Amino acid sequence: MALTKIDSYEVMYSANTFFPRIWLKGGGKPLGQLIFKPNGTALPADNMSGGQVNLYYHLDDYRNAIDLLRNEKPLYLLYSGSGSGFENGIKTTEEVAGEGES
């Protein structure tokens, strides 16, 4: 999975020991999740589990991620691999400068 279109998402903000997560779906299938850990903690390497991507962020990044998911179309999941030297995340496509919100 290098670049996959995100069609929908679900937010899971659990109580107790579970970290906030945003589940991503594309083509009617789960693609993976964005996992938000406490600010200042070391983040694990992004990885794949059961064919789905786990991307790790700090809680400070939650607002940016949910803003992209709510306001940008199309939006894609980028997964290049696990470990240092790999860039992973969610991304928009190229936009014309000054295009504005639709």
> For residue range 23-34, what is the model confidence (pLDDT) as tens digits?
999 999 999 999
Closest listed residue to residue 4, CA positions, set 26, 24, 23: 26
- Pairwise CA distance, residues 89 & 80, whole Å: 9
What's the token pair of residue 31?
């693609």
Cβ atoms 68, 24 nearer than 8 A:
no
CA 61 centroid distance within chain: 10
pTM exceeding 0.85: yes
For 3-59, the pLDDT digits (tens) are: 899 999 999 999 888 999 999 999 999 999 999 999 999 999 999 999 999 999 999
